[in-house]
Structure 1
Amino acid sequence: MREPAWRRTGSTPDYRFSLANERTFLAWLRTSLALLAGAVALDQLTPNIAPTLVRGILAVALAGVAAALAGLAYRRWALAEQAMRHGRELPFSRVMLGMTLVVTLAALVFGILVIVRP
């Protein structure tokens, strides 16, 4: 894979900041993998928790969020790296609020399903 053109601009940031940015990227990927594992578990390990359609919708929604988060993780890493290279403020991301809302909603739905399980 070719090095992005933006990596040849600005000045190289302190390696500690680049490594911290990379650790954040990896944390976002771990979160994405956890959401994907939750989607698979919901679909495969809890057949009696809800009707098949409801379970399928929840699993697909979680898997979709996991895929989106993985893609956004790279974008966030790249934007932060570019900001450091040019001495700019790190970019703000609404993704964290969105992820909080999605996980909260999923937990509430799952909790309701556990309580009202037939």
Structure 2
Amino acid sequence: MILIEGLRSAGRTVRLWWAPARIREEGTTPDYRFSLANERTFLAWLRTGLALIGGGFAVDQFLPRLHPWLRLACTVVLLVGGALCALRAVNHWVRCERAMRRGEDLPVSRFPTALALAVGALAAALVVLVLLGRTD
């Protein structure tokens, strides 16, 4: 029962991605400064996603000496991370906007921590590979 309700809630949230004007049907209009701050956060996450995608393409194009499977793995991790950032951005924007309109606490997310750990681990692995000379 809890799973079904969770899926329904997620479905409603995803539908709001495509019809953001429907958010106005809920609660009261928050101070515009908060909505604009929410939008700036959304745009920052999109920029992060684009940077990860650009990094993925850079690894693929500019590290030809890196072992092919390592280059592919790093490229895929960065591209998937960029895609997840974009999806997370729109989802978090909708959830925050709804919470502000309803007068609820803003939603929390583990995504920033997971992203930071993944990027840090990838960077550390690349540093080790370079130091060991495993880029041939």
Common fold by TM > 0.5: yes
Alignment of 1:41-80 (within 5 A): 41-48=58-65, 50-80=66-96
Which protein is richer in helix relative to its size?
A: 2
User: Could you list the runs of 4 or more consecutive aligned residues of structure 1 that deviate by over 4 angstroms after TM superposition?
Assistant: none
Name the TM-score, length of structure 1 as normaliser.
0.93
Aligned with 1:82 (options 81, 98, 103): 98
Q: Secondary structure at the match of 2:105?
A: coil
Partner Cα distance (2:69, 2:21) in 1: 43
Name the TM-score, length of structure 2 as normaliser.
0.81
Partner Cα distance (1:2, 1:23) in 2: 19
Aligned with 2:38 (options 21, 25, 37): 21
* 2:109 corresponds to: 93
Partner Cα distance (1:88, 1:80) in 2: 9
Per-residue deviation, 1:4? 4.8
Partner Cα distance (2:94, 2:62) in 1: 37
Deviations 1:6-36 (A, max 9, x none): 3311111111000000000000011111111
Q: Secondary structure at the match of 1:90?
A: coil
Per-residue deviation, 1:115? 1.2
Percent of counterpart pairs with the same letter? 44
* 106-115 vs 96-105, which moves further: 106-115
Partner Cα distance (2:100, 2:107) in 1: 10
Q: Which runs of no fewer than 5 residues in structure 2 stay unpaired?
A: 1-17
Partner Cα distance (2:84, 2:41) in 1: 16
Partner Cα distance (1:116, 1:37) in 2: 26
How large is the RMSD of aligned CA atoms in angstroms?
1.3
Q: Which runs of no fewer than 5 residues in structure 1 stay unpaired?
A: none
* 2:7 corresponds to: none
